[in-house]
Amino acid sequence: MKEYYLGIDVGSVSTNLVVIDEACEVHYSAYIRTNGQPLDSVKKGIREMKNSLPSDIKIKGVGSTGSGRQLIGVMVGADVIKNEITAHATATAHVVPDVRTIFEIGGQDSKIIIIENQMVVDFAMNTVCAAGTGSFLDHQSERLGIPIEEFGAMALTANRDVRIAGRCTVFAESDMIAKQQFGFSKAEIIKGLCEALVRNYINNLGRGKRLEPPFVFQGGVAANIGIKTAFEKEINHEVIIPKHHNIMGAIGSAILAKEYIEESGAKTNFRGFEAADLDFEPSTFECGGCSNNCEIIKVEMDKRVVAMWGDRCGKWTNL
């Protein structure tokens, strides 16, 4: 019987599940749209996983990451609940051991992570501005009527360069419309958009940081060849895209779970594949104890309260 580790990354756009073995090789992976339903998407993911894996499989440890890490961690019984920056860096350092700079662009946020000797020495995360994230591209692809999957390849067919203002999505959009009226083709506009996104990303997140190769580009947007090319043009260096670029967070959390279990010798808290069938119900209520009126998240399992958070004063969390 082989031993495996499970990693779950619950993001705003996608929920990813990964099963790795002792050598950190990926044995199973799933990429599911979250659709605003983190619990359901994880349950669905676990059921699918159970059906596609051999029945005698043993999960020795579980890690969760992403914005829904806490909720999902409680639900599945995760051994390690880690932030996505550490999770991403862990996975990348495993795949590309000498990595120095990680570009990660997801649906709602983007990150840059600077690594020296396999250690995170600096990072930045953008959540304020949409102009440097995948949702910007998603929006523009809809506007141009080009499916996002074809976006990147189309950018490569452009003959001319168009400069589109990338500081803000609103400026970019009006600039794009103006450039369309100047007679630039769709492909050229798309290339301009890719370059605008990369410029915005480097200006916002790379500010004050020394960017050294090797560069690794990951996250959902790494599937877009147009962005990869724009990155290579901007920093004038080759950019590596790992094979599992869109599930690196989940891989990282599985590796972290493995390290934790190996170091501590602990037994996993994993509730088993049955976690998918548990009567697990999060609910929210307004505290009303003071004028903050905090929204408290209460998680119940089989009618028993297993966790609460969201309060600013600790009245419920510390219960």
Partner 1 sequence: MKVSFPYMGTTVVYKKLLELLGHDVIMPPKPSQRTINLGVKYSPEFACFPLKVIMGSYFEAIEKGAEVIITSGGHGPCRAGFYEQVHQRILKEEGLPAKFMVFNSMFRDFNNFYDNIITLKGKNSWLKVSRSLLLVYNMTKKLDKLEKQVQTIRAYEVKKGETTRAWEKIQDLFDRAYTKKELEGAYAEGKKLLDDIKLIEVPEEKKLRIGIVGEIYVVMESSINMKMEELLGNLGAEVERSQYLSQWITYNAIPSFINKTHETEILEKGGRYLPIQIGGHAKQTIGHIVDYSERGFDGVVHLMPFGCLPELVSQSIVPKITEELGIPVLTLAIDEQMGTANNTTRIEAFIDLIKGKRAKKIS
Q: What is the CA angle 251-254-259, rounded to 5?
A: 125
Choose the stretch contacting partner 1; rule: CB under 8 A; options: 28-36, 236-244, 269-277, 288-296: 288-296
Q: How far apart are CA 150 and CA 109, in angstroms?
A: 22
- C-alpha radius of gyration, the chain, whole number: 21
We find the least distance from the C-beta atom of residue 291 to partner 1, in angstroms, to be 4
Nearest CB to partner 1, comparing residues 88 and 245: 88
Nearest CB to partner 1, comparing residues 117 and 181: 117
Residue 36 within binding range of partner 1, rule CB under 8 A: no
Closest CA to 244 of 84, 82, 25: 25
Strand order across the beta sheet in which 295-301 lies: 280-286, 295-301, 304-309
Residue 291 within binding range of partner 1, rule CB under 8 A: yes
Residue 93 within binding range of partner 1, rule CB under 8 A: yes
We find the least distance from the C-beta atom of residue 312 to partner 1, in angstroms, to be 7
Residue 123 within binding range of partner 1, rule CB under 8 A: yes
Within 131-150, which residues bind partner 1 (CB under 8 A)? none
Neighbours of 298 (CB within 10 A): 16
Within 200-259, which residues bind partner 1 (CB under 8 A)? 208-209, 256, 259
* Encoded tokens for 284: 């929210």
Residue 290 within binding range of partner 1, rule CB under 8 A: yes
Q: How far apart are CA 152 and CA 174, in angstroms?
A: 21
Closest CA to 46 of 1, 16, 84: 16
We find the least distance from the C-beta atom of residue 89 to partner 1, in angstroms, to be 5
Place of tokens 């290579």: 232
Residue 311 within binding range of partner 1, rule CB under 8 A: no
Among 16, 67, 229, 246, which residue interacts with partner 1 (rule: CB under 8 A)?
67
Does residue 254 sit in helix, strand or coil?
helix
We find the least distance from the C-beta atom of residue 12 to partner 1, in angstroms, to be 10
Per rule CB under 8 A, count of chain residues that contact partner 1: 31
Nearest CB to partner 1, comparing residues 51 and 293: 293
Q: Say if CB 69 and CB 34 are below 8 A apart.
A: no
Q: How far apart are CA 122 and CA 282, in angstroms?
A: 35
Q: How far apart are CA 201 and CA 122, in angstroms?
A: 16
Nearest CB to partner 1, comparing residues 50 and 209: 209
The residues binding partner 1 (CB under 8 A) are: 67, 82-86, 89-90, 93, 109, 117-123, 125, 127, 208-209, 256, 259, 290-293, 312, 314, 317-318
